């Protein structure tokens, strides 16, 4: 396979550039998974966690918190400027979501539901402080699924958090750059291009099991470097 | 197990495997950490700003203080079963009432032969219109034989009942009443 043009962005907020897919092997667009295949989509995994939480398993909701708190805080940073306040509102939103969990019926994706709770909590918070809350048209629920914009975030990050962000991004970049090529390709095609294992297997001309193993090994290699910075060393308890 | 968490995040597990991995993930602190770190790695690779990359320990601590939420699905199922049962019962009753009314209507429609049997004396009675105030014996006979008559049949039978003499008598008496 031709060497990938993997670019290591040194600025924390710059995304990686996806490797060019060779014409003869790929050009496959990320596909929506067919539910009949039996594989669980992201939404279905969330739904499973929600159902466990509804049956009294708090750990399941903790997994949802650790999955979405960064995303929710990025969203809230568009409404609230003070990082400490963002954290407070995010906490309140998660607690409200947990209390309201019996009412969640899965009509929408969990994050869409959480997004609405987060927006309403932030608006109420601003109103309570006598500040102007944004109108509903400024934040449509349709944004929820695709909200990945970090543009407004750079302005409000404290120097400390910005430094931490850069350090983490740097660590991840360095770790990925140090990976063997086949692992780097696999993880990049998965995380950046959102390709399924089957599509990656076609592109890399290897069995799906190999793709599964390569992605896992890539993640583990990066995680090994990242754990000390995140305070999640294996011997440390939450 | 960590490989399974990796596959779970990518949506590459079958439903039954995913259930098993989610269960294991919920049960172990190590697996929870792995889940968290893998998500941070994904965010970092995608260039999403990590406003706060460390564990949301404050949120998790606040969550642990909350009373456990219990929303048994069974109750929902029971409620929906009750709703369905009530709707079905209402439908059955409606169908029953409509059906019964239909059957009653059918019996009424089959009544004309019986009326036809009695048509002989009725016609005769209608021809011999009695004097006003005198009860018509033939009419009484018909009504006793046929207790159930629909309006159309009744009108058919009685269409000649008001005689010209009756109207004249009324008009003749009217001035006297006025006086």
HSE value, Cβ hemisphere, 13 Å, CA-based, for A212 = 15
Contact present, A52 and A95 (Cβ < 8 Å): no
Angle at A109 between CA A213 and CA A216, to 5 degrees: 10
Question: Are A227 and B27 within 8 A, CB to CB?
Answer: no
Map out the domains of chain B as residue ranges: 2-64, 86-173
Report in angstroms the alpha-carbon separations of A199 from A45, A211, B51, B170.
21, 10, 32, 102
What number is the average pLDDT over the span A108-125? 92
Contact present, A55 and B72 (Cβ < 8 Å): yes
Hey, how many other C-beta atoms are within 10 angstroms of the C-beta on B148? 11
Please tell me whether the overall predicted TM-score, pTM, comes out greater than 0.90 for this model.
no
Contact present, B136 and B130 (Cβ < 8 Å): yes
Residue B80 touches partner A, C-beta closer than 8 Å: no
Q: Which residues of A touch B36 (CB under 8 A)?
A: 66-67, 230, 232
Q: Which of A63, A77, A230 comes nearest B37 by C-beta?
A: A230
Residue B51 touches partner A, C-beta closer than 8 Å: yes
State yes or no: pLDDT of B63 exceeds 80.
yes
A-B C-beta contacts closer than 8 Å = 230
Residue A81 touches partner B, C-beta closer than 8 Å: no
Helix (H) or strand (E) holding B119: helix B112-127
Q: What is the ipTM of this complex?
A: 0.77
Where does residue B74 rank: exposed (0-12), middle (13-18), buried (19+ CB within 10 A)? exposed
Q: Which residues of B touch A83 (CB under 8 A)?
A: 51-52
B153 compared with B123, residue with greater pLDDT: B153
Which chain A residues in 184-213 lie under 8 Å from chain B, judged by CB atoms?
187-188, 190-192, 196-197, 212-213
Distance from the Cα of B80 to chain A's closest Cα (Å) equals 14
pLDDT tens digits, B66-84: 888 877 655 555 566 778 8
What mean pLDDT is reported for chain A? 77
Angle at A142 between CA A141 and CA A146, to 5 degrees: 115
How big is chain A by its Cα radius of gyration, in Å? 20
- Lowest mean pLDDT of A45-49, A150-154, B144-148, name the range: A150-154
Q: Which of B15, B47, B69 comes nearest A14 by C-beta?
A: B47
Question: Are B26 and A59 within 8 A, CB to CB?
Answer: yes
Tell me how far apart the alpha carbons of residues A14 and A4 are, in angstroms, rounded to a whole number.
18
pLDDT tens digits, A123-155: 999 988 877 666 554 555 555 555 444 444 444
What number is the average pLDDT over the span B94-122? 67
pLDDT tens digits, A154-167: 445 667 667 777 88
State yes or no: pLDDT of A52 exceeds 80.
yes
State yes or no: pLDDT of B19 exceeds 60.
yes
Question: Are A238 and B32 within 8 A, CB to CB?
Answer: yes
What mean pLDDT is reported for chain B? 72
Please enumerate in sequence order all residues whose Cβ is within 8 A of that of A40, keeping only pairs 6 or more positions apart, or say none. A48, B8, B11, B13, B14, B15, B18
Q: Which pLDDT score is estimated for B152?
A: 80
Tell me how far apart the alpha carbons of residues B60 and B62 are, in angstroms, rounded to a whole number.
5
State yes or no: pLDDT of A187 exceeds 90.
yes
Q: Which pLDDT score is estimated for B127?
A: 47
Contact present, B51 and A73 (Cβ < 8 Å): yes
What number is the average pLDDT over the span A57-80? 90
Nearest CA in chain B to A99: B69
Residue B64 touches partner A, C-beta closer than 8 Å: yes
Contact present, B63 and A61 (Cβ < 8 Å): yes
Angle at A222 between CA A216 and CA A224, to 5 degrees: 100
Q: Which pLDDT score is estimated for B175?
A: 54
Phi, psi angle pair for B14, to nearest 5°: -70, 160
Q: Which of B7, B40, B47 comes nearest A230 by C-beta?
A: B40
Q: Which own/partner pairs from A59-62 qualify as long-range (CB within 8 Å, at least 24 positions apart)? A: A59/B25, A59/B26, A59/B27, A59/B32, A60/B22, A60/B26, A61/A98, A61/A101, A61/B63, A62/B26, A62/B32, A62/B60, A62/B63
């Amino acid at each position: 396979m031709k060497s990938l043009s993997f670019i290591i962005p040194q600025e924390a907020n710059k995304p990686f550039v996806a490797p060019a897919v060779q014409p003869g092997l790929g050009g496959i667009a990320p596909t929506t998974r067919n539910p009949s295949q039996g594989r669980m989509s992201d939404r279905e995994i969330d739904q499973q966690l929600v159902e466990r939480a509804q049956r009294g398993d708090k750990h399941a909701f903790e997994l949802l918190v650790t999955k979405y708190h960064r995303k929710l805080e990025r969203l809230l940073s568009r409404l609230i400027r003070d990082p400490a306040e963002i954290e407070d509102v995010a906490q309140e939103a998660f607690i409200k979501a947990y209390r309201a969990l019996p009412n969640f019926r899965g009509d929408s994706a969990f994050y869409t539901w959480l997004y609405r709770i987060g927006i309403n909590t932030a608006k109420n918070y601003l109103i309570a402080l006598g500040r102007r809350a944004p109108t509903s048209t400024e934040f449509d629920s349709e944004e929820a699924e695709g909200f990945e914009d970090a543009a407004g975030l750079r302005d409000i990050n404290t120097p400390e958090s910005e430094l931490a962000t850069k350090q983490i991004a740097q660590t991840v970049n360095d770790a990925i750059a140090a990976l063997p090529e086949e692992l780097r390709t696999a993880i990049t095609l998965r995380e950046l291009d959102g390709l399924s294992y089957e599509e990656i297997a076609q592109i890399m001309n290897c069995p799906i099991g190999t793709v599964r193993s390569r992605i896992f090994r890539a993640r583990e290699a990066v995680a090994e470097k990242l754990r000390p910075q995140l305070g999640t060393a294996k011997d440390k308890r939450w | 197990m960590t490989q399974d968490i990796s596959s779970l995040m990518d949506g590459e597990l079958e439903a039954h495997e995913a259930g098993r991995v989610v269960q294991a993930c919920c049960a172990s602190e190590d697996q929870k950490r792995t889940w968290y770190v893998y998500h941070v790695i994904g965010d970092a690779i995608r260039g999403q700003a990590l406003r706060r990359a460390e564990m949301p320990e404050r949120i998790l601590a606040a969550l642990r203080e909350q009373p456990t939420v219990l929303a048994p699905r069974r109750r929902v199922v029971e409620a929906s079963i009750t709703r369905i049962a009530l709707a079905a019962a209402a439908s059955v009753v409606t169908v029953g009432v409509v059906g019964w009314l239909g059957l009653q209507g059918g019996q009424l429609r089959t009544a004309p032969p019986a009326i036809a049997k009695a048509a002989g004396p009725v016609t005769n009675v209608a021809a011999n219109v009695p004097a006003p105030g005198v009860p018509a014996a033939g009419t009484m006979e018909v009504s006793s034989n046929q207790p159930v008559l629909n309006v159309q049949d009744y009108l058919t039978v009685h269409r000649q009942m008001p005689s010209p003499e009756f109207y004249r008598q009324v008009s003749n008496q009217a001035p006297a009443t006025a006086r």
